[in-house]
Amino acid sequence: MNAAGTPQFVRRPVERLLPGVHPVLGRVYGARGVGSVAELSHDLKSLLPPDGLPDLEKATGRLLNAVVTGQRILFVGDFDADGATSVALGVSTLRRFGAEQVDFVVPNRFTYGYGLSPEIVDLAATRSPDLIVTVDNGVASITGVERAKELGIDVIITDHHLPGKELPQALAVVNPVLPESRFHSHALAGVGVIFYVLGRLRTALAQAGWFESKNIPVPNMADGLDLVALGTVADVVPLDQNNRVLVAQGLARIRAGRARPGIQALLQVSRRVAAKITAADLGFAIGPRLNAAGRLDDMTIGIRCLLASTVEEARSLAIALDQLNRARQELEQTMVADAELIVSGQLAAGESRDGICVYDPGWHQGVVGIVAGRLKDRLHRPVIAFAEAGSTAPDELKGSARSVPGLHMRDLLDEIATSHLGLLPRFGGHAMAAGLSLKRIHFKQFATIFNRLVTTRLPAESRDAVVYTDGVLGVDDISVATADLLAGAGPWGQAFPEPLFEGEFDVISRRVVGEHHLKLTVSPRDTGASAGRRRRLIDAIAFRQAERAVEPFAQATLTYRLARNDYGEAPTVQLVVEHLLPLA
């Protein structure tokens, strides 16, 4: 399968250097739109106030009544890491508030599908709840809310997904992206939304004298920030200033040894040191292990791990999550290889493929989102991967979509659903990722429509992969000191990317390590003999690029991130290579 071609390297524009910081940081921050040092504050006082979140007072009032009168409260979450952390935060916090009857249910994606469906409400009803609170889902659950009302169960929806044309008739819908929202950030993850709701509830309970009457110390909301940081990073929402505060504060608690036992156990099985944890560790080590439960089994395992009261209790659950993640990785490798063969066949047949749909009856529906993401990265085109929906809907396919900048995936699906009534019974999501259901007999028709619409809607400038860099580092700045400086300057993540630099290097040596990775020794080209200076040798590692070991090149342009390597007698700098382009 042909990749999207050689990426174009574009240096991020820097309108002005941010003053008062190291010159490299000033350049990096300036390229990310930071206009003042004040915007870099990670103090909790810098958080946006909750005012402006739709229906916040309605939700708070109903929750207060439920807590004070001892009603049964049931959380219904999504089956990913954001959903798991949201549920764990809701349950653990209400218990700390003195709520006596709090429980949760998470839909098994293979049995009930996504969201607060009527079937999930019927399952929840067996617990006799007085109040259902959705977290990280619910904004599209019109029929589910109707079923709850039939059963006399109140529903509060807390979500961050884009709404459709109609909202569920719930008691309250708290969502920062609703048109009427006056909250000054649309980037909250689901766990961030419930964090704000619980914070306002704590204030209301304190004002009502609840904690004093129960002889409960007023809980510190910061105790839940380890979960907020994990869910926010794992859900890949933009790290605007507000989310950076939430993530930075959560990371600080983890590094200080104040993480809850479940996160400590997940760090142990991931071989991460709490004191050195970064946002990238949450996104690429902890998050995937939580997500593996929802992809292959039941997210209840992950939530129970996060709710464990001791590390010993959490450890067996964390080990189970680690094993599920290993199984997920094996499935992923097989399915991605299958998908690449399918696309190669389409391209070999001369088919135009701007919008790519792939399906195999043997695929696991819990992994198709990863397959879509891998193909999207390789081809730089919007991709939807489908799998069988399972026994509950034997004639349906479940699809997971990933898009590229310039094409809003959910809006495109909405356009298809509107212009071809009945073709898409269910869909939802964001600009860059979405989910959908489809009758199997409609797959080819949908694939044709999707491809045609992508061809007409995808802007020309979005058709080629562009890699944005922070320019060239001076030789003296390729150092452990700069690596440490950048590592401490985050948190880095979606829409606030970790600094990526570019430069031309002589390749002194290379070898394969760990079967899949390319280990390099390189030297910046301006430190060679022609520059009259002693050649400087620097270690570099290119993950999952072992095939490059046999290519004949002695010089290359690298894009890389700076990292600290502590494996030797003394720390050294290492380049983590993202792209390697041989020089002619």
Q: Quote the longest CA-to-CA distance of the chain.
A: 82
The model's confidence at residue 566, banded by pLDDT at 50, 70 and 90, is confident
> Does 541 score more than 60 pLDDT?
yes
Q: Which stretch of 100-104, 106-110, 354-358, 498-502 has the lowest confidence by average pLDDT?
A: 106-110
- The per-residue pLDDT of the chain, averaged, comes to 93
Q: Answer yes or no: same fold for 48-323 and 467-582.
A: no
pLDDT of residue 110: 67
Residue with tokens 């019974």: 425
pLDDT of residue 528: 47
> Does 228 score more than 60 pLDDT?
yes
Contacts of 524 (CB under 8 A, 6+ apart): 475, 478, 503, 504, 505, 506, 536, 538
Break the chain into its structural domains and give their ranges.
48-323, 352-462, 467-582
The alpha carbon of residue 307 and the mean position of all alpha carbons in its chain are separated, in whole angstroms, by 21
Contacts of 213 (CB under 8 A, 6+ apart): none
Residue 428 token pair: 């939802």
DSSP assignment of 64-82:
HHHHHTT--EEEEE-SSHH
List, for residues 80-125, the tens digit of each pLDDT value: 999 999 999 999 999 999 999 999 998 776 666 678 999 999 999 9
Residue 526 token pair: 């301006």
For residue 312, the tally of other CB atoms under 10 A from its CB is 10
List, for residues 456-495, the tens digit of each pLDDT value: 999 988 888 889 999 999 999 999 999 999 999 999 999 9
Top-tier CATH class for 48-323 = alpha beta
How confident is the model over 559-570, as a mean pLDDT?
90
How confident is the model over 401-408, as a mean pLDDT?
94
pLDDT of residue 428: 84
Q: What's the DSSP call for residue 471? A: -
Question: What pTM does this model have?
Answer: 0.91
List, for residues 141-185, the tens digit of each pLDDT value: 999 999 999 999 999 999 999 898 899 999 999 999 999 999 999
How confident is the model over 282-289, as a mean pLDDT?
96
Would you call 256 helix, strand, or coil by DSSP? coil
Percent of the chain residues past pLDDT 90, beyond the cut: 83
pLDDT of residue 3: 47
Rounded Cα–Cα distance for residues 386 and 399 (Å): 4
> Is-contact 387 411, C-beta < 8 A?
no
pLDDT of residue 2: 44
CATH topology of domain 352-462: Diaminopimelate Epimerase; Chain A, domain 1 (3.10.310)
The more confidently predicted of residues 388 and 351 is 388
Task: At 560, give phi and psi (nearest 5°).
Answer: -155, 160
Top-tier CATH class for 467-582 = mainly beta
CA dist 481 → 3, 119, 423 (Å): 36, 56, 56
> Is-contact 550 578, C-beta < 8 A?
no
